[in-house]
């Protein structure tokens, strides 16, 4: 899953798709096409930055950032479009324009979001977050982070199923960097097989995140090698979808892992 940032305040490439304060659709489409050519099966489009400390965005602004781009990519590229949103109107309008996945860092907890997602008929990715982006990194605490995240995701999946989203259409995500200390993030990655055991596909997003900066002191633009390492480790521990900025490099890294898997003797 390639990340296409349509926010002027993205943590990794802050507003690189903006020209004179407006999203440049032609430029965004070129970036999208390059990620598809590099091997992305999905593109994730979000109009709200959810990095730590990010400010909320209004519905009209979010619609304006996301929907025209979804429409354009759906018309011109052969790729599954994921919309990174918690907003019912964005879910509805993106689905009407050709989106193929609802990726919600709030696991469809906003009023009306679960109903909008169910009505869309689309698959959903439910992510765990503690708090809101504005406050989530203020002293996060858990009794048992893996158990807490697993319980939350399982209960959200059950609610989705009850609302008419079948389990076959649900993906889970532990939410790396969302209300977690360095130790919490590491424990979630080490114990990822316990989340995979819930029986639903896992999506993992660690690309360029501050976990890497905290561990090895790299700035955002120096985090590619560590991001590739984390992508392979996540795949090895059961992740099915890797959310990343550097699609070509990540596909190469994952191809080495899948080649090794296919080489294993069958018994």
Q: Which residues are catalytic?
A: 209, 243
Site pattern 33..52 for ligand PT1 (x: CB under 6 A): -----------------xxx
CA distance 247 to 239: 16
Is residue 177 near ligand PT1 by the rule CB under 6 A? yes
Tell me the β-bridge partners of 126. 104, 172
Instruction: Round the CA-based radius of gyration of the chain to a whole number and report it.
Output: 18
We find the least distance from the C-beta atom of residue 103 to ligand PT1, in angstroms, to be: 5
Part of the chain binding ligand PT1 (CB under 6 A), chosen from 87-95, 169-177, 193-201, 230-238: 169-177
User: 3-class DSSP state for residue 251?
Assistant: helix
150-156 LR contacts (CB < 8 Å, sep 24+): 150/194, 150/195, 150/198, 152/107, 152/128, 153/107, 153/126, 153/128, 153/195, 153/198, 154/198, 156/107, 156/108, 156/109, 156/126
Largest CA distance in the chain: 60
Kindly write out the interface string for residues 204-243 of this chain, putting x where it contacts ligand PT1 by CB under 6 A and - elsewhere. Answer: -x---xx--------------------------------x
191 binds ligand PT1 (CB under 6 A): no
**Nearer CB in complex with ligand PT1: 13/249:** 13
Q: Which stretch binds ligand PT1 (CB under 6 A): 92-100, 175-183, 229-237, 254-262?
A: 175-183
Whose Cβ is closer to ligand PT1: residue 107's or residue 118's? 107
Rounded to whole angstroms, how far apart are CA atoms 132 and 57? 13
152 binds ligand PT1 per the rule CB under 6 A: no
Q: Which residues bind ligand PT1 (CB under 6 A)?
A: 11, 50-52, 84, 103, 105, 125, 127, 173, 175-178, 203, 205, 209-210, 243
């Amino acid at each position: 899953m390639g990340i296409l940032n349509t926010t002027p305040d993205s943590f990794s490439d802050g507003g690189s798709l903006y020209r004179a304060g407006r999203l440049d659709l032609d430029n965004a489409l070129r970036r999208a096409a390059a990620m598809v050519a590099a091997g992305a099966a999905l593109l994730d489009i979000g109009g709200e930055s959810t990095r730590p400390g990010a400010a909320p965005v209004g519905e009209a602004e979010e619609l304006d950032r996301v929907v025209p781009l979804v429409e354009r990519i759906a018309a011109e590229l052969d790729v599954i479009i994921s919309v990174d949103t918690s907003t019912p109107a964005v879910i509805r309008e993106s689905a009407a324009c050709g989106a193929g996945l609802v990726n919600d860092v709030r696991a469809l907890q906003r009023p009306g979001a679960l109903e909008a997602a169910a009505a869309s008929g689309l698959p959903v990715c439910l992510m765990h977050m503690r708090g809101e982006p504005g406050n989530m990194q203020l002293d996060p605490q858990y009794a048992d982070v893996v158990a807490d995240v697993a319980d939350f995701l399982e209960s959200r999946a059950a609610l989705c199923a009850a609302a008419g989203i079948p389990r076959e259409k649900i993906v889970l995500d532990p939410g790396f960097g969302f209300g977690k200390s360095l130790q919490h993030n590491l424990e979630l990655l080490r114990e990822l097989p316990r989340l995979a055991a819930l029986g639903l596909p896992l999506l993992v997003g660690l690309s360029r995140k501050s976990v890497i900066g905290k561990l090895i002191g790299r700035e955002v633009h120096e985090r590619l090698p560590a991001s590739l390492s984390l992508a392979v480790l996540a795949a090895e521990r059961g992740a099915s979808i890797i959310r990343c900025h550097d699609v070509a490099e990540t596909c190469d890294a994952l191809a080495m892992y899948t080649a090794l898997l296919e080489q294993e003797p069958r018994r």
